[in-house]
Amino acid sequence: MSNSIEKESSALDAPAEKTTGSSQAGGFGLLLENIRAFPGNFRDAVIRHGVPDSQRTRSQAVFSNIFLHIHSIRTHRWTLKKSFTVGLGVATTALFLILSVTGIMLMVYYKPTEAEAYNSIKDIHYIVPGGRLLRNTHRWAANLMVISALLHMVRVFFTASYQKPREFNWLIGIALLVLTLALSFTGYCLPWDQLAYWAVVIGSNIAGSAVELTDALNVTQVFDIGMMQRQILLGASSVGGEAILRFYWIHCIALPFAMTVLIGMHFWRIRKDGGMSRPSDIREEELAGLPEDEVGKAAFQGSGKTYTLMCAVPEKTLQVDKDQENTVHSWPHAFRAEMAVVMTVLAVVLLLGVFYNAPLKIAADPAIPENPAKAPWYFLGLQEVVSYSAFAGGIGVPLFMLVGLACIPFLDRERGKLGRWPRQRDLRCAIISLAFSFLCIVATLSFRVHFGWLRDWWPGINQLWIILINPGTLVLAVFTGYSLLWTGRTGSTRLGAIAFFCCLMTFFVVFTYFGTVHRGPNWDFYWWPSQWPTH
């Protein structure tokens, strides 16, 4: 179907061949003429359309370019609303691109061996021209990408954009979030300083922490899945050179590859799901200040039939937005908006890179862990739960959260809230849930700091009890019940989803804060890091 468009348009675009003057100077004249026409012809060969200033060329600019045609030719004005997407998906993509470029450059000097890894990072930092900026940029972009992917998920959730038909893209999104965290974590390990070494020790033991469960059930002898996972990760039974090589491979090959494929699917799905989500009842004043163009206006004033859009291209088979009067040409409006986000992100990352150095601790020392040995910040919430039970914090709780998130679009199938931030009833539910979960967590953590937990009361207790019942799992259980209650009481699955999501948000934020600020040497409670004992 669309073949005919391409054929037709390329036939249309091809500038009329110049056939004049050829006979005058014979063969050489012809050659000379072709040489003179070379720049123009070369341009036409690469770019098959004129300057994108008319409706036709603007459409062609988008669909004749392999990179740009990820976009549809026209973009809904709602999509361009800054307060809708907040540009977070694009920012995340920009960060991934920055990370890819800086990462590939770092690979030139980084040496993934036990003896050289640490020193090669020092070389990059102190000797390689521009190396320090490259490394700083890479590190800060990685941190920002975790933040922006999380915030992007928050915006998708609150604008109900996970709902039908976007359930699958929500799942891809969760996979992307996991990949982002995994990339960050494996990246942290490469410098082979104290942070890196002990992060790998703890991380790989978390992978092996299924042994806590199999031990408690007394089946480790026959089914030691924990040890197997650990060995696959480390390539050995202890942390050393093999582990560096594996982490390097995972960080530089496996995860970026998976990420690229999934980002491709994520974008493809946005198109196939009919573009970005938007409300069905948009009022004209809500779009005030956004770009408009003649085609949209014509459609608006005209009969309202969708084919008016296609005055740009004399075919009606391209995928188009239904709500034509409120669309604009993607070139330049959508690209301009995206480029603005990309350049802002680049500027932020570069500024951070110029003014703040990426940390590097002393070289790895397998005999003495750092005290406190803290994971990268986004894992400190989990590390707090890990300090109750390795299996609960390292596997149980994160798995529960991911599965919970993944279920949301299939459990909440309510229609009608698409594309708008919560208001009234939904907003109230969000605020109440945030407050409720905040109080729950603060109460539980204070209790635990004051009175200890099961093992402190009954030292001989079976570990299974602690895996099942600890401050982390306890509040999550309460939150699940609490969200079900919302749905039960109000008859709205969307409210249940909002309650659940808000609880998870508080969980992440408060636990992360607690692990970062209030845990000091020996994972003891301190009001402030300044009170840590010095030794």
* Interacting residues toward ligand HEM by CB under 6 A: 85, 88-90, 92-93, 96, 149, 152-153, 156, 161-162, 166, 169-170, 173-174, 176-177, 180, 263, 266, 270, 276-277
DSSP letters along 9-66, please?
HHHHHSPPPP-TTTTTTHHHHHHHHHHHTHHHHHHHHH--S--TTSHHHHHHHHHTST
Q: Say if CB 527 and CB 510 are below 8 A apart.
A: no
Minimum distance from residue 338 beta carbon to ligand HEM (Å): 8
Q: Say if CB 405 and CB 481 are below 8 A apart.
A: no
- Which does residue 270 bind out of ligand HEM, another protein, none, counting CB within 5 to 8 angstroms by kind? ligand HEM
Minimum distance from residue 216 beta carbon to another protein (Å): 7
Q: Say if CB 529 and CB 457 are below 8 A apart.
A: no
- Which does residue 66 bind out of another protein, ligand HEM, none, counting CB within 5 to 8 angstroms by kind? none
Question: What does the alpha-carbon distance between residue 272 and residue 269 come to, in Å, rounded to a whole number?
Answer: 5
Q: Which is nearer to another protein, 34 or 238 (CB)?
A: 238
Minimum distance from residue 479 beta carbon to another protein (Å): 22
- Which does residue 216 bind out of ligand HEM, another protein, none, counting CB within 5 to 8 angstroms by kind? another protein
Q: Say if CB 315 and CB 4 are below 8 A apart.
A: yes
Q: Which is nearer to ligand HEM, 89 or 394 (CB)?
A: 89
Which strand (E) or helix (H) includes residue 285?
none
Q: Which is nearer to ligand HEM, 334 or 375 (CB)?
A: 334
Minimum distance from residue 416 beta carbon to ligand HEM (Å): 15
- Which does residue 34 bind out of ligand HEM, another protein, none, counting CB within 5 to 8 angstroms by kind? none
For residue 165, cis peptide bond before it (omega within 30 degrees of 0): yes
Minimum distance from residue 246 beta carbon to another protein (Å): 8
- Which does residue 26 bind out of another protein, ligand HEM, none, counting CB within 5 to 8 angstroms by kind? none
Minimum distance from residue 392 beta carbon to ligand HEM (Å): 23
Q: Which is nearer to another protein, 60 or 204 (CB)?
A: 204
Burial 234-252 (b: 16+ CB within 10 A, else e): bbeeebeebbbebbbebbb
Count of positions (residues) in the chain: 535
Q: Which is nearer to another protein, 306 or 387 (CB)?
A: 387
Binding footprint of another protein on the chain (CB under 8 A): 198, 201-202, 204-206, 209, 212, 215-216, 228, 231-232, 235-238, 240-242, 366-373, 383, 386-390, 452, 455-456, 459, 463, 466, 521-524
Minimum distance from residue 211 beta carbon to another protein (Å): 8
- Which does residue 524 bind out of ligand HEM, another protein, none, counting CB within 5 to 8 angstroms by kind? another protein
Q: Which is nearer to ligand HEM, 92 or 326 (CB)?
A: 92
Question: What does the alpha-carbon distance between residue 91 and residue 97 come to, in Å, rounded to a whole number?
Answer: 10
Minimum distance from residue 215 beta carbon to another protein (Å): 7
Task: Assign 519 to helix, strand or coil.
Answer: strand
To the nearest 10 degrees (0 to 180), the angle between helices 471-490 and 397-411 is: 10
Q: Which is nearer to ligand HEM, 190 or 270 (CB)?
A: 270
Q: Percent helix, strand and coil across the chain, each rounded to 5?
A: 70, 0, 30
Question: What does the alpha-carbon distance between residue 443 and residue 336 come to, in Å, rounded to a whole number?
Answer: 48
- Which does residue 232 bind out of another protein, ligand HEM, none, counting CB within 5 to 8 angstroms by kind? another protein
- Which does residue 369 bind out of ligand HEM, another protein, none, counting CB within 5 to 8 angstroms by kind? another protein
Instruction: Return phi, psi of residue 131, to 5°.
Output: -65, -40
Q: Please state, in angstroms and as integers, the Cα–Cα distance from residue 342 to each residue in 335, 345, 354, 367, following that order.
A: 10, 5, 18, 44
| CB-based closest residue to ligand HEM | 173
Q: Which is nearer to ligand HEM, 170 or 379 (CB)?
A: 170
Two tokens, residue 179? 């990949």
- Which does residue 370 bind out of another protein, ligand HEM, none, counting CB within 5 to 8 angstroms by kind? another protein
Two tokens, residue 437? 């979960």
Q: Which is nearer to another protein, 348 or 373 (CB)?
A: 373
Question: What does the alpha-carbon distance between residue 159 and residue 181 come to, in Å, rounded to a whole number?
Answer: 24
Minimum distance from residue 322 beta carbon to ligand HEM (Å): 15
Q: Which is nearer to ligand HEM, 137 or 159 (CB)?
A: 159
Q: Say if CB 417 and CB 494 are below 8 A apart.
A: yes
- Which does residue 73 bind out of ligand HEM, another protein, none, counting CB within 5 to 8 angstroms by kind? none
